[in-house]
Amino acid sequence: MSDIALPSCTQDVALLLVRIILFVTFLAESRHKFKDIKGFAKNDGVPLPVAYVVATAELLAAIGMLTGFLAQLAGIGIVLLMIGTTYMQIFKWHSPYWANQKGWEYDVIMLVLGAVIAAFGAGRISLDALLH
């Protein structure tokens, strides 16, 4: 089987699209949590300081994805956050897999997208690329 020849910028555009999806998702999630941090902590059964750490980590990950600055570290952070969330979904809340049933499918997708950035970096359309 032969590979398809694609323009050299294809990987960079794909990584940018992944970063945009992660930015939008984690910005929205952090804003939602910060609006009612006590409610988030109570609903998810986590101590208030943990709720602040999670919301702050999501905000920092969103900023890292938007700018591409320290994007690999932000990707690792997203992977860790999503491992924690997926663990809670499966073992604490006993959620089904499918997202339309309040499951953990979406969390795993975000984990994989974070892993893509952690593994491959932000690409050439990023602050990381401009600074190196």
The answer to whether 24 and 113 are in contact (CB under 8 A) is no
pLDDT in tens, the chain (132 residues): 678 888 989 999 999 999 999 999 999 999 999 999 999 999 999 999 999 999 999 999 999 999 999 999 999 999 999 999 999 999 999 999 998 888 899 999 999 999 999 999 999 999 988 888
- In this predicted structure, what is the pLDDT of residue 1? 66
pTM for this prediction: 0.92
Sign for the pseudo-dihedral over CA of 6, 8, 14, 15 = positive
Q: Among candidates 104, 105, 111, which has minimal Cα distance to 61?
A: 111
The answer to whether 26 and 54 are in contact (CB under 8 A) is no
- In this predicted structure, what is the pLDDT of residue 5? 87
